[in-house]
A = this chain, B = another copy of it.
Amino acid sequence: MTGGAAKGGGSRLSRRGLFAATSGLMVAAGEAPARALSAGADVVPFRGANQGGIVTPAQRHTTFAAFDLVTARRDDVAALLRRWTDAAARMSLGEPVPPAVADSGDVVGLSPARLTVTFGFGAGLFVKDGADRYGLAAGRPEALVDMPVFPGDQLVAARSGGDLSVQACADDPQVAFHAVRQLARLADDVADIRWAQSGFNAGYAPGEAPRNLMGFKDGTNNPPIADPQAMAAVVWVGDEGPAWMRGGSYVVYRRARIALEHWDRMKVAFQEQTFGRQKLTGAPLGMRSEHDKPDLSATDPDGNPVIPENAHIRLAAAETNGGARILRRAYSYDDGVNFVAERWPPWRQAMEFDAGLLFICYQRDPRSGFLRIFERMAKFDMMNQFVTNTASALFACPGGIGDGEFVGQRLFDAG
């Protein structure tokens, strides 16, 4: 990018500009850092103090992928992260990935659709099978623990873990998938794709907690993403982490199959006891409105708790977890049907939906976030009889990417 070229007439062609051009797909690829388009409602800035896709208002669609590094050379990894960074910056503006001729072209003419690409590092980048492959072991944060296996987990290794993660989120499913596809191509000979999983949210109004496939609102109790202080407390790594993680976050990914056929046979009153909330309004049991604070001490005339002891929101509450909080950023998934043997009465064995929730959450430290909360929840949550976690991963998402930087560059520069 040499600057100053008129849109559609020079080396910088937006996706819409490219679409309008008739000179073919051969577009010169420049080198200058990307900048936000002026008409920015459909553009989320890629560079800044934090990565996008974390406190960004949730887009409608996601494609989440993990990669295994197959190179022996540290320089290859750094070069890949630079290619990925440059490509993600361009795609977030709706520009083709250079060289433009190799972009698959299936988003030509589409809006950038608020695309964000959020990168993460798995434990395997630092130590794999006991080996410090890239001389990065000293840079591994303590918070990037090996993910435990929880009671009830039925984890499929091929859908779990990975050395690097890429989460694309966009308001158009093709834009999200396109981003992961281009990055997978750029990874050639350095990293192999390990798994990819797409998900969606229904079209509820922005700011409204969407209903997930259980029919309940999801994320009502989230800390407010528009409040920087709340995000600093819950989501962003501060001085406690290694320098490359400052302004970063940790993402927990869990693919939670929901036994929809089973759930749908439960009475709504039982579903509400399971959640601890009313289905229609989202209000905590005993309250009137969705955003009322749950009263965990309230009892009914018989002295029983209004919100059951093993209700989801009681076990998830900060008050019962030493103040632990996370930012939920979940999507639903629908992968057709599979033969399933249910673990609960009436022990159906049949073709059932392989659908449920991509539980995705961000936090400053998973040890005082998800892991603390879920350790107890995995044992006692009434919801567990309807939910089976089939995949699990934890990635450290580096801090924001400055001009000219690549994601995680400070880790590589540190030695």
User: What residues make up the interface of A, taking CB atoms closer than 8 Å to B?
Assistant: 18-19, 21-22, 24-25, 63, 65, 101-102, 104-111, 113, 171-175, 177, 181, 184-185, 192-198, 200-204, 208, 211-216, 260-261, 263-264, 267-268, 278-281, 332, 334-337, 350-353, 355
Complex interface: chain B residues within 8 A of A216 (CB)? 105
Whether B177 lies near A334 (C-beta < 8 A) is yes
Min CB gap A212→B, angstroms = 7
Whether A215 lies near B104 (C-beta < 8 A) is yes
Complex interface: chain B residues within 8 A of A280 (CB)? 18-19, 21-22, 24-25, 105, 108
Q: Which residue of B lies closest to A21 (CB)?
A: B280
Whether A111 lies near B203 (C-beta < 8 A) is yes
Whether A351 touches B194, Cβ cut-off 8 Å, given contacts A22-B280, A104-B213, A332-B174, is yes
Whether B172 lies near A213 (C-beta < 8 A) is no
Min CB gap A29→B, angstroms = 15
Q: Which residue of B lies closest to A20 (CB)?
A: B280
Contact of A264 among B102, B195, B335 (CB under 8 A): B102
Contact of A215 among B106, B213, B214, B261 (CB under 8 A): B106
Please measure, in the bound complex, the distance between the C-alpha atom of A102 and the C-alpha atom of B265, giving whole angstroms.
7
Whether A106 touches B211, Cβ cut-off 8 Å, given contacts A185-B261, A268-B101, is yes
Can you pick out 26 interface pairs between chain A and chain B where the beta carbons lie within 8 Å of each other?
Answer: A18-B280, A19-B280, A22-B280, A22-B281, A25-B279, A25-B280, A63-B334, A102-B264, A105-B279, A105-B280, A106-B215, A108-B211, A171-B203, A173-B334, A174-B201, A174-B203, A174-B211, A177-B334, A181-B260, A181-B264, A181-B353, A185-B261, A193-B351, A194-B351, A196-B337, A335-B336
- Count this chain's copies in the assembly: 2
Min CB gap A180→B, angstroms = 9
Min CB gap A250→B, angstroms = 23
Min CB gap A39→B, angstroms = 17
Q: Which residue of B lies closest to A66 (CB)?
A: B337
Whether A200 lies near B173 (C-beta < 8 A) is yes
Contact of A335 among B22, B101, B335 (CB under 8 A): B335
Min CB gap A15→B, angstroms = 11
Complex interface: chain B residues within 8 A of A175 (CB)? 202
Please measure, in the bound complex, the distance between the C-alpha atom of A193 and the C-alpha atom of B201, giving whole angstroms.
24
Please measure, in the bound complex, the distance between the C-alpha atom of A267 and the C-alpha atom of B211, giving whole angstroms.
44
Whether A204 touches B260, Cβ cut-off 8 Å, given contacts A280-B24, A350-B192, is no
Whether A172 lies near B202 (C-beta < 8 A) is yes
Q: Which residue of B lies closest to A283 (CB)?
A: B22
Complex interface: chain B residues within 8 A of A268 (CB)? 24-25, 101, 105
Whether A108 lies near B336 (C-beta < 8 A) is no
Complex interface: chain B residues within 8 A of A203 (CB)? 110-111, 113, 171-172, 174
Min CB gap A1→B, angstroms = 21
Please measure, in the bound complex, the distance between the C-alpha atom of A107 and the C-alpha atom of B260, giving whole angstroms.
15
Contact of A106 among B18, B22, B105, B214 (CB under 8 A): B214
